[in-house]
Amino acid sequence: MRLDNAKILISDDSILARKQLKDFISKYGTPTFFEASNGQDAIDIYKKEKPDLSFLDIVMPVKDGNAAIREIIDFDKDAEIIIVSSVGTQSQLRSAIEAGAKDFIQKPLNPEQLHSILTSRFEGR
């Protein structure tokens, strides 16, 4: 699949963090973006839109990222979920990976790491 044909969910309670991630990804293609500001919205959007790739923060209101990961994976065991977080203890990160997250990106965003994640999941630009 090409990035231009992809659906990407970005879930973070910070509108600035969502915009930064969206702007960075947009340098490499024009996917369809869905945004959520809390874990419950992320779950609801995931179930409705079934995005190809999801970026979730760990610390969010209503439901945290780990709870959202568990519910999304229960719905779709093949979900591609990447944690993007500035805070998070080792136990939270371990829980995210155990729940089904495929990778972790530390904030502030590392352009090379994010580019690597995108190119490993999508052909071309």
For 11, other C-beta atoms within 10 Å of its C-beta total: 29
What phi and psi values does residue 64 have, to the nearest 5 degrees?
A: -75, 175
Q: For domain 3-121, which architecture applies?
A: 3-Layer(aba) Sandwich (3.40)
* Residue 10, SS3 per DSSP: strand
Dump pLDDT digits (tens) for 3-45. Answer: 999 999 999 999 999 999 999 999 999 999 999 999 999 999 9
Q: Grade residue 89 by pLDDT with cuts at 50, 70 and 90.
A: low
Distance CA 107, CA 125 (A): 24
Specify which residues 34 forms β-bridges with: 9
